[in-house]
Amino acid sequence: MKPGLDIGHRAEFARKVPSHETVPRLFEDSELLHKMPDVYATAYMVGFMEWACCEHLAPFYDQGECSLGIQVDMSHTAPTVPGMTVTVTSEITAIEGRFVSFKVVARDDAGQIGEGMHRRALVDTDTFAAKAAGRSAGSIPA
């Protein structure tokens, strides 16, 4: 990781919620979910929070480095309908070697919709890809 990232460093990342990121569209094969309200799915909100933290870290990656999520603890406290803009604010709360922790808050046009913490691990992309390939089907001992 390049120098310059410190505890307290903040970033914001925003995007409009598309209609396909709602609860009824989360799993095509779930009849139960298809009957639920047409609101932003928690899974997408958490994914967006992770993405925002990736964007926060990206300017500090060394060549061949990326980060992977290793821990999430989020609450989703208010509904968001498609077309609204969600903004995630991330703040660095800890840097421990290759591990970076964030406080994250998500807001839509009407107010806060979620918050929590997220932790990411900085990894060498080639080394990690090799490790993942080693776990592919057929290569894992029974």
Q: What domains lie within the chain, and their CATH numbers?
A: 10-130 (3.10.129.10)
CA distance 17 to 38: 12
Establish whether 42 is a catalytic residue: yes
CA distance 13 to 52: 6
| Residue from 30, 17, 25 nearest 88 by CA | 17
Establish whether 20 is a catalytic residue: no
Does residue 45 sit in helix, strand or coil?
helix
Prediction pTM value: 0.90
What's the rounded mean pLDDT across residues 108-121? 98
| Residue from 112, 7, 124, 114 nearest 63 by CA | 124
Strand order in the sheet with 99-108: 10-16, 85-96, 99-108, 111-124, 65-76
Q: Which of 76, 89, 115, 118 does the annotation list as catalytic?
A: 76
Which H helix or E strand runs over 76? strand 65-76
pLDDT digits (tens, 9 = 90+) for 5-58: 999 999 999 999 999 999 988 888 888 888 888 899 999 999 999 999 999 999
Establish whether 31 is a catalytic residue: no
Position 83: which residue type?
G
Q: Which of 9, 42, 65, 93 does the annotation list as catalytic?
A: 42
Q: Which of 21, 22, 50, 56 does the annotation list as catalytic?
A: 50
